[in-house]
């Protein structure tokens, strides 16, 4: 996209020359022209061009005054000062007010094209940076919304179960339901008794005390088999790669490590003896604490 440029100069010949140079070099397009500072300020605030070519000395209001007025009114475009004045103090004041470059009169085509090219490079760079910042801001909002959306008990627990390799086990649904119950009715002092949690989950499926008790036992067995599957997975990973990050993190955290070592030994020696044991309470307590931590992080 080409620069939009406003010309503010009381010299009609100068305005015409600048317009010809701009149109012929192809860097930008002339958005308008004004004979003085007051008219120029009005047109600039109305059309908001990217760049203003402005004369330093004009009869009604000089360029420095006009720049100050525009900046105070919120205009954020770029200024290029045009003048035959060589006074260093005035030129210095113009730069202090915010001009980007200074073009000397009489107008020189090469100088004008060079300055406009430099301003165009700055403008493109600033637009590029602004677009990146805007994209990053949108991405940040999306990520924040995504994180908030993902931070449910169900999704946090499913992530843990997936790492343990048991998301497809039948008892994984019971573990998710149990964690939802435990966190929804959490107690500050301790983890709820397992029997109480089993019955609470069972109550969602069954009516009547006998049916609830029967379902509670079924839930306990499904969870036991699922945790045993997780132990098998960890032991298998440990045999293959003892330094695997998942093994290093989950094996000692979720299980009694002695149980993990025994299972690894059985696998290594290809033993088909006892099924092994797992500490259900430890597994569920750790899962509960880790879920709470991830929800609050």
- CA neighbor of 119 nearest in space, from 52, 72, 34: 52
| Residue of higher predicted confidence among 30 and 203 | 30
* pLDDT of amino acid 257: 84
Spatial distance between the Cα atoms of 57 and 9, rounded to a whole number of angstroms:
8
Q: Which tokens is 281 given?
A: 């309470």
For tokens 């100050």, what's the residue? 68
Q: Which of 13-22, 132-141, 161-170 has the lowest mean pLDDT?
A: 132-141
Instruction: Give the residue from 189, 207, 187, 188 showing the smallest Cα distance to 197.
Output: 187
What does each C-alpha distance from 191 to 82, 186, 219, 251 come to in angstroms? 77, 7, 18, 21
User: How far from the centroid of its chain's Cα atoms is residue 189's Cα?
Assistant: 37
Q: What is the mean pLDDT of residues 207-218?
A: 88
- Would the pLDDT of 144 be above 70? no
As a three-state string, the secondary structure of 174-226 is: HHHHHHHHHHHCCCCCCCCCHHHHHHHHHCCCCCCHHHHHHHHHHHHHHHHHH
Question: Half-sphere exposure of 71 toward its Cβ, with a 13 Å CA cutoff?
Answer: 13
| Average model confidence (pLDDT) across the chain | 86
Q: In the block, which residue shows the tokens 């930008």?
A: 28
Could you tell me if 86 and 102 are in contact, meaning their C-beta atoms sit under 8 angstroms apart? no
> Mean pLDDT across the stretch 48-65?
91
Residue 49 has pLDDT above 70, yes or no: yes
pLDDT given for residue 150 in this prediction? 58
| Cβ atoms of residues 53 and 100 within 8 Å | no
Residue with tokens 């119950």: 181
List pLDDT tens digits, range 226-284: 999 999 899 888 888 888 888 999 999 999 888 888 888 888 877 654 556 789 999 99
Residues 171-195 have pLDDT tens digits of: 999 999 999 988 887 765 577 888 8
| Bridge pairing between strands 78-83 and 28-34 | unpaired
Q: How far apart are CA 261 and CA 267, in angstroms?
A: 10
Rounded (10°) angle between helices 209-240 and 171-184: 110
In this prediction, residue 2 has a pLDDT band, given cuts at 50, 70 and 90, of: confident
What was the pLDDT predicted at 53? 94
CA end-to-end span of the chain: 44
| Segment holding 61, helix H or strand E | none
**What confidence tier does 287 reach under pLDDT thresholds 50, 70, 90?**
very high
Distance, CA of 291 to CA of 148 (rounded, Å): 14
pTM score: 0.50
Q: What separation in angstroms does the CA of 285 have from each of 167, 215, 250?
A: 18, 21, 13
């Amino acid at each position: 996209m080409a620069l939009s440029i406003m010309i503010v100069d009381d010299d009609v010949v100068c305005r015409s020359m600048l317009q010809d140079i701009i149109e012929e070099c192809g860097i930008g397009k002339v958005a308008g022209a004004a004979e003085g500072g007051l008219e120029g300020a009005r047109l600039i605030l109305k059309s908001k061009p990217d760049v203003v070519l402005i004369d330093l000395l004009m009869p009604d209001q000089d360029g420095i005054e006009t720049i100050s007025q525009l900046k105070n009114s919120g205009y954020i475009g770029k200024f290029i000062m045009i003048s035959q004045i060589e006074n260093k103090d005035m030129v210095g004041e113009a730069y202090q007010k915010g001009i980007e470059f200074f073009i000397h009169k009489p107008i020189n085509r090469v100088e004008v094209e060079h300055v406009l090219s430099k301003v165009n490079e700055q403008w493109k760079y600033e637009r590029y940076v602004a677009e990146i910042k805007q994209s990053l801001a949108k991405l940040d909002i999306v990520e924040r919304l995504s994180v908030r959306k993902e931070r449910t008990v169900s999704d946090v627990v499913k992530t843990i179960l997936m790492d343990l390799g048991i998301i497809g086990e039948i008892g994984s649904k019971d573990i998710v339901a149990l964690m939802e119950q435990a966190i929804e009715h959490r107690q500050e002092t301790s983890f709820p008794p397992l029997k109480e949690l089993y019955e609470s989950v069972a109550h969602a499926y069954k009516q009547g005390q006998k049916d609830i008790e029967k379902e509670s036992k079924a839930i306990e067995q499904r969870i036991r088999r699922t945790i045993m599957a997780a132990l098998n997975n960890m032991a298998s990973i440990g045999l293959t790669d003892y330094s695997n990050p998942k093994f290093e993190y989950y094996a000692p955290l979720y299980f009694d490590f002695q149980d993990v070592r025994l299972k690894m030994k059985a696998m290594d020696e290809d033993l088909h003896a006892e099924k092994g044991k797992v500490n259900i309470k430890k597994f569920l307590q750790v899962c509960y604490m880790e879920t709470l931590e991830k929800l609050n992080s």
